[in-house]
Amino acid sequence: MVDFAGLVNLLFGGLVIGSLYALSAVGLTLLYGAASMTNLAHGEFMMLGGYLAYWLFTAMGVFPLYSLVLAAVVVAGIGALLYLGAFSRIYAREASVAETESMTLLLTFALIMILSNAVAWIFTPNYKSYSAMTNIIEFGTFRAISGRLAAPAMVIPLILVFWILIRRTWFGRAIRCVIEDRDAAKIVGVNISRVFLSCYMIGLAMAAVTGVLYSMIFPITPYFGIEYTMASFVAIILGTVGSVPGALIGGLIIGMAESTLVYYLEPALKIAIIYSILILVLLVKPRGIFAR
Amino acid sequence: MFKYIRYVAVLVAFALVLGASFFVDPYVLALMTSILVAVALVASWNIISGYVGYLFLGAAAFYGLGAYVVALTSDVLSWYAAIPLAGLLSFAVAFAIGIPFLRIRGPYFIIATYAIAELISNVLLYMEHTFAGTIGRYVTIQDTLQIYIAISLVAFAAVIVSSSIRKTKFGLGLLSIKGDEDAASASGVNTTLYKLIAFGVTAMFMGMAGAAVIPRLGYVDNTIAFSSRISFNTLVMGVLGGAGSVAGGTVSAVLLSLLFEIFFSSAEPFPFLIALGVVLFVAIFFMPGGLAQLFSRISKRIGRARSTESGASVAQATRT
Amino acid sequence: MKNVTAEKTKDESRRKFLKYGAGAAVVAAAAAAGYYGLQAPQPAQVTTTTQQVTTEGPATVITTAAKTKAPETIKIGHSSGVTGYLSAAEQICSFWYNLWLEQVNAKGGIYVKEYGQKLPVSLIIYNDRGETDTAARMFERLITVDNVHALWGSYGTFMSFALQPIVNKYKVPCIASNAAPIVIDNPNEYERIYKEGDYFRNKEGQPWYEWNYMLWNEMSYYHEMEALYKALLNAGVKKVAIWEIETLFGVENRREFQHFVDKYGGLEIVTHKTYPFGITDFGSIITDAQNKNPDAVVQFSYPGDSWVSTQQMIERNYNPKLFYNALGMAYEEAYRRFGVNNDGICSHGAGFAAKGKTKGPYGTGGDLLKLYKSRYNEVPDFVDGAIAFATMELLEQAIERAGTLDRQAIYKEMLKAKDNPIPTIIGPVGWDRGPWNEKREGTILQSQNLASPNPPESGFDQEIISSANGSVAKLPGLVEVDLKTADLVYPKPSWRKQ
């Protein structure tokens, strides 16, 4: 039996990891749900964000919270370049959605090779970490390192704000239109390519921000991306592709499962448990929890 | 006359492949062994992913299964018997898994197959660790030449079966599923059974490939047998070769394996890998149909140049 | 109508012929290119100095020198995971073996009596991506294509398992560095070998030196765990928690440790948790430990999870009286992340302690530490990197003692080391009862004095607090020397603000 303090710590741990998955998932659901971009390299953009934060901190003393903004801007820029330079042509070929998805899958696979090896070349494959936000914050008997607190503290408001924007603003509505029915959106007059461009920029920026938060807590290597990509896909499928609250919930579920459920079952089976959840959901509710 | 060229070509290739083993040095033999594994995996991958259209990212699951069949029966069963056993078991497992899994479509299927491979790997490690008290297992080592022959047989069988399926009624049924699954079902094709069999045959060859090569190493554990790069490499080679084209897939498997070997092996591989990534990106971008698309473009151009004018225009009109 | 169909079939056949023909041509061309491309001599690892090779030795060597023409360089081969999930570990080792390469070539190379001169060394290194079949293939390449004179193995025990058959088949001396590939699963068997004066044998009963060419630089984890066991007992620890990573390293270490506890008593294991490689949250494991309240927490870890656990222990203010965290703490990352909180944490001693007195041809561990820092400007890893350097020292001296580059002669020379151990920065090396090194003590390190007013430079804080080589089970044939540089600080200091 676990006492109350232990339980709170367990839940907090799940919340920390879950919020990282959640933000990554929201970015991916935007990319995949709206723009049909099967981004296998999602974790690599996360890794880029992490290394940016590392470099900015160790070489220039930039406090990681500022790096959140910087990383978002830089990676959004990269996303724009990728879209305008290459990916936009794919959509222009009027290929079916399935073909776009498989094309982007392969292109992003090539991106994985480029990005992870470029970073490994520059920084070496060794573990890198930095010591920032290590002061401990106490709430009564509950203690947490501020770096770990930063994760849910940044992610949850960010996602909420994003969700409000996507529901209230005109542009957010355009994005939702495209997610629901691309052809109808075209007919109605939505500028599809501008929506896609923003999806690339926002989605990848979110991955980068996740990476910055991740680097505050864990050591980073150039190759850690792929497992996060897969976990993000699990999260968005759980929560239904294209749904922002779904991605949030999906991410939190996985985080909680990794931290808490695993405690009651068996830590060594962590991967099996998480993927079992995915497979169960896929079989029972193939479109995800929030499917209509 | 040209009709039989295919069979002759395959026989000649097989003879060359086997014959080569006698006069290449051991390193090249080892390399050819690895290339044949890739060929076997991609050829069988084409059945479920190329013909049925369900892109499969779980090759590691069956490859690993086959490897573990050999590892677990190392003491009781001869390796020669273990290989077909691995194939049968993989078929059975694929059939069983397929019943729920093949209801999942599109990119979800990709992720789900990746998930099942990781799941099997994780569970196997847990069982090994908890019940056998070990992380990995020792495998009786077999002679490299015998392994080479074994994998050649598996590879060629996979290539022949996979390309022959296309001509059969079964194959046409599979292609119709890829085109429009609901329509195929409505017109009387038993889509469920067809998909299951296709999946099973794919798994069978993948399992036999794993079983054929694992005795090279003497030791196997779950990260070796179920390594995700097997799944990724197979999918990428298959798509680059052109999903559905066995010839394209085979060439792509050979080519990429060689490229990986030449560039990856260097102690300073990073610039090469980056360059390789760029080349892949460009290749995929301009040739989404893979090598098969490239070949057919080339042959069309040559064909068009050779035909007479009238023949050309009529041929063009009737070309699908 | 008929014409069209005939044309169409002819076109299709032609297309198919061209498709297959082109395909076959491409395959053939690629195969040929690959074959010739791969046969081309690989660029050897760049030797950093261009010092002239000096001829040394007595003048009467004229006849010997005329007998055989010296090769250009001594070729030592290596394959490892430059990319892939072991790349961080290999990265560490590469700094060290490149440092050795610079040092050895700066003095002209290794003196080989057969040619009466010093020959420079070149390292031929391939990337095996952490894949066993690729590693096996790279070794075939090193042995048959590059014709190396000696080898050292890939990082990781499971990799060495795969390489052993190749090395034994071609009978090439190979040092298993950063690996412990042995088929003795049972520590009792290890003890029996010593008690009965036996040798490690294969299934057919042949003693190891007749068929096994892979020699370990490291010793069996038995002795490290023996040292840990002794340290715990001496400190008065009664209750122990075990946290074990689910890899070969974790399993083997824990098995040896448990052997001592089960067989020789004195400790109670109150909880035992296994966790997967890549764990991200120790919350539940720490909670469990807090409930069971052990005196000592023994974590068989890798770099990575070792930091996650430490960080969360600091966060939860969980401070057991003794904390052993196997790998990752004597490491630059640890100093950077945890700073003064490294104080009091014990770790795996297979590397060197800066204060230790063992020395090799390039000095003591402390000397190398200073050299490394001046060269690379960062604190080195004390375990894996140090082992890698010791491997190179080992090979260098074996070749020098053999006086020739013949593989068999080098191997025979290595077998003689049991009577004349080879000194390295992590201790002397010699093999007798089995292919594991038995000339060195198992040691446990502890970081100390980091919070004192004049804290030691990072690296020089590691003290040897326990050493053992067979005294617990009273194993005959082993020499145990006390290598302690300081007493264990028990209980460990509490966590501080960083």
**What is the per-residue DSSP string for C109-138?**
SEEEGGGTEEE-EEEEEEE-TT-HHHHHHH
The sign one gets for the Cα dihedral C230, C231, C234, C236 is negative
Inter-chain touch C333–A271, beta carbons under 8 Å: no
ipTM above 0.90, yes or no: no
Which residues of C make CB contacts under 8 Å with A? 82-85, 87-88, 90-92, 246, 273-276, 278-281, 283-287, 290-291, 303-304, 307-308, 311-312, 314-317, 333, 336-339, 497-498
Q: Tell me the average pLDDT of chain A.
A: 87
What percent of chain B is predicted at pLDDT more than 70? 95
Inter-chain touch B265–C24, beta carbons under 8 Å: no
Contact by Cβ (8 Å): C135, C162: yes
Judging by beta carbons within 10 Å of its beta carbon (0-12, 13-18, 19+), is residue C170 exposed, middle or buried?
A: middle
- Residues facing C77 on adjacent strands: C124, C151
3-class SS at C107?
coil
pLDDT exceeds 80 at position B30: yes
3-class SS at C42?
coil
Q: Which residues of A touch B123 (CB under 8 A)?
A: 269, 272
Domain range for C50 is 45-219+393-416
Which single residue is written with the structure tokens 């390796």?
A: B79
Whole-number pLDDT of residue B289: 78
Which residues of B make CB contacts under 8 Å with A? 55, 100, 103-104, 106-108, 110-112, 114-116, 118-119, 121-123, 125-126, 129, 228, 232, 236, 239-240, 269-271, 273-274, 276-278, 280-281, 284-285, 288
Which single residue is written with the structure tokens 């923003």?
A: A198
Classify residue A58 as left (phi > 0), alpha (psi -120 to 50) or beta.
alpha
Residue C404 lies in a domain: yes
Q: What is the pLDDT of residues A163-191, one digit of tens each?
A: 998 888 888 888 888 888 878 888 888 88
Rounded distance, CA C413 to CA C416, Å? Answer: 5
Which residues of A make CB contacts under 8 Å with C? 2-3, 6, 9-10, 12-14, 16-17, 117, 120, 124-131, 134-136, 143-145, 148, 217-219, 221, 223, 227, 258-260, 262-263, 267-268, 270-271
Of the CA atoms within 13 Å of residue A88, those in its CB half-sphere come to: 17
Contact by Cβ (8 Å): A88, A196: yes
Segments of chain C with pLDDT less than 50 = 1-4, 6-8, 33, 36-37, 39-67
Whole-number pLDDT of residue C16: 53
Residue C169 lies in a domain: yes
Inter-chain touch A271–B114, beta carbons under 8 Å: no
- Residues facing C442 on adjacent strands: C468
Strand order in the sheet with C174-176: C121-127, C74-80, C150-152, C174-176, C214-216
Q: Residue ranges per domain, chain A?
A: 13-122+137-284
Whole-number pLDDT of residue C351: 67
Question: β-pairing, C322-325 with C296-300?
Answer: parallel
Q: What is the pLDDT of residues C280-315, one digit of tens each?
A: 888 888 988 999 999 999 999 988 889 989 999 998
3-class SS at B320?
coil
DSSP C240-289: EEEEEESSHHHHHHHHHHHHHHHHH-S-EEEEEEEE-TT----HHHHHHH
Residue type, A2: V
Backbone torsions φ then ψ of B167, nearest 5 degrees? -85, -15
What is the CATH T-level fold of the domain A13-122+137-284, as seen in this structure? ABC transporter involved in vitamin B12 uptake, BtuC (1.10.3470)
Residue C398 lies in a domain: yes
Contact by Cβ (8 Å): B66, B90: yes
- Nearest CA distance, C104 vs chain B (angstrom): 20
Residue type, B47: I
Residue type, A95: A
Whole-number pLDDT of residue C353: 67
Whole-number pLDDT of residue A47: 96
Contact by Cβ (8 Å): A272, A278: no
Judging by beta carbons within 10 Å of its beta carbon (0-12, 13-18, 19+), is residue A140 exposed, middle or buried?
A: exposed
Residue type, C14: R
CB atoms near residue C271 (< 10 Å): 17
Nearest CA in chain B to C87: B267
Inter-chain touch C88–A260, beta carbons under 8 Å: no
Whole-number pLDDT of residue C213: 92
Which single residue is written with the structure tokens 């052990």?
A: C294
Which single residue is written with the structure tokens 């560039």?
A: B263
Contact by Cβ (8 Å): C264, C272: no
Residue C77 lies in a domain: yes
Residue C71 lies in a domain: yes
The total number of structural domains in chain C stands at: 1
Backbone torsions φ then ψ of A128, nearest 5 degrees? -125, 140
- H/E stretch holding B138 reads strand B136-138
CB atoms near residue B313 (< 10 Å): 11
| Closest to C466 (Cα-Cα) out of C202, C281, C229, C254 | C229
3-class SS at B117?
helix
Q: Which residues of B touch C161 (CB under 8 A)?
A: 136, 138, 217-219
A30 secondary structure, DSSP code: I
pLDDT exceeds 60 at position B312: no
- Nearest CA distance, A148 vs chain C (angstrom): 10
- A224-242 b/e (C-beta count within 10 Å ≥ 16 → b): bbbebbbbbbbbbbbbbbb
- pLDDT confidence of A114, banded at 50, 70, 90? very high
Inter-chain touch C7–B299, beta carbons under 8 Å: no
> Which position has the higher pLDDT, A93 or C6?
A93
Inter-chain touch C140–B30, beta carbons under 8 Å: yes
Contact by Cβ (8 Å): A16, A151: yes
Nearest CA in chain B to A232: B111
3-class SS at A37?
coil
Whole-number pLDDT of residue B299: 81
Whole-number pLDDT of residue B234: 94
- Nearest CA distance, C197 vs chain B (angstrom): 27
Q: Chain A: list its partners (3+ Cβ pairs within 8 Å).
A: B, C
Inter-chain touch B2–C246, beta carbons under 8 Å: no
Residue C470 lies in a domain: no
pLDDT exceeds 60 at position B252: yes
pLDDT exceeds 70 at position B313: no
Which domain CATH number covers C49?
3.40.50.2300
Whole-number pLDDT of residue C108: 92
| Closest to C106 (Cα-Cα) out of C188, C47, C157 | C47
Nearest CA in chain B to A100: B288
Rounded distance, CA A224 to CA A119, Å? Answer: 12
